[in-house]
Amino acid sequence: MPMPYREKKIDHMLVDRETIDAFIKRLGKEISRDYRGEELFFICVLKGSFMFAADLIREIDLPCQIDFMSVSSYAGEKTTGVVKINKDLDSSIAGKHVLIVEDIVDTGLTLNHLKSLLSTRNPASIGIVTAFDKPMRRRVDIHVDYVGMEVPNEFIVGYGLDLDGYYRNLPEVAVLSDKE
């Protein structure tokens, strides 16, 4: 039986605020430089990336828009990454330079499917930016254009990342203890 939220203990802090702030500034500079002269359309993939997206777009020195999508795996389809759209974009991405904003790339299945799906809507380009990356967990070969930092294969929470919906509000990223 899964342990209730209050019985889970934070084992140790993995990423502090200074580190997060530093990579957000770096990513903001890189993206602003790479897309100079263009406009950007950010897609925040709910829920986990809401905090990162809010911080990142404040470091973008270009005209930009942001919209939100909510996706989840179909029941029984976690191994294929086929996603169900719970909330779609409110506007068209045709002809726009799109950047999908994720909190974490794990197996890569969600993004692989989402990127294919969005590519059919004729954007001018489509890229991916993630705060955290767990490359050792990858199951599909997907190119992630911008990575805040790589993290080890541990269960992490905070800065948008959750356990059963909790812990997203931690300003830093922590590793949860698996001890009962």
Catalytic residues: 106
Among 103, 123, 156, 157, binds ligand PRP (CB under 6 A): 103
Q: Is the omega angle on the peptide bond into residue 8 within 30 degrees of 0, that is, cis?
A: no
Contact status: 48 vs ligand PRP (CB under 6 A):
yes
**Which is nearer to ligand PRP, 41 or 103 (by Cβ)?**
103
- How far is the C-alpha of 172 from the C-alpha of 161, rounded, in Å? 10
Nearer to ligand PRP, 62 or 66 (CB): 66
Rg (CA), the chain: 16
Q: Residues binding ligand PRP: what is the number (CB under 6 A)?
A: 16
- Contact between 130 and 104 (Cβ < 8 Å): yes
Q: Is 133 in the site for ligand PRP (CB under 6 A)?
A: no
Pairwise CA distance, residues 122 & 138, whole Å: 27
Please, which of residues 134-173 interact with ligand PRP by CB under 6 A? 162
Answer yes or no whether residue 102 interacts with ligand PRP by CB under 6 A: yes
- The residue (of 3 and 62) whose beta carbon lies closer to ligand PRP is 3
Cis peptide before 47 (omega within 30 of 0): yes
Contact status, residue 38 vs residue 97, Cβ threshold 8 Å: yes
Binding site for ligand PRP (CB under 6 A): 45-49, 81, 102-110, 162
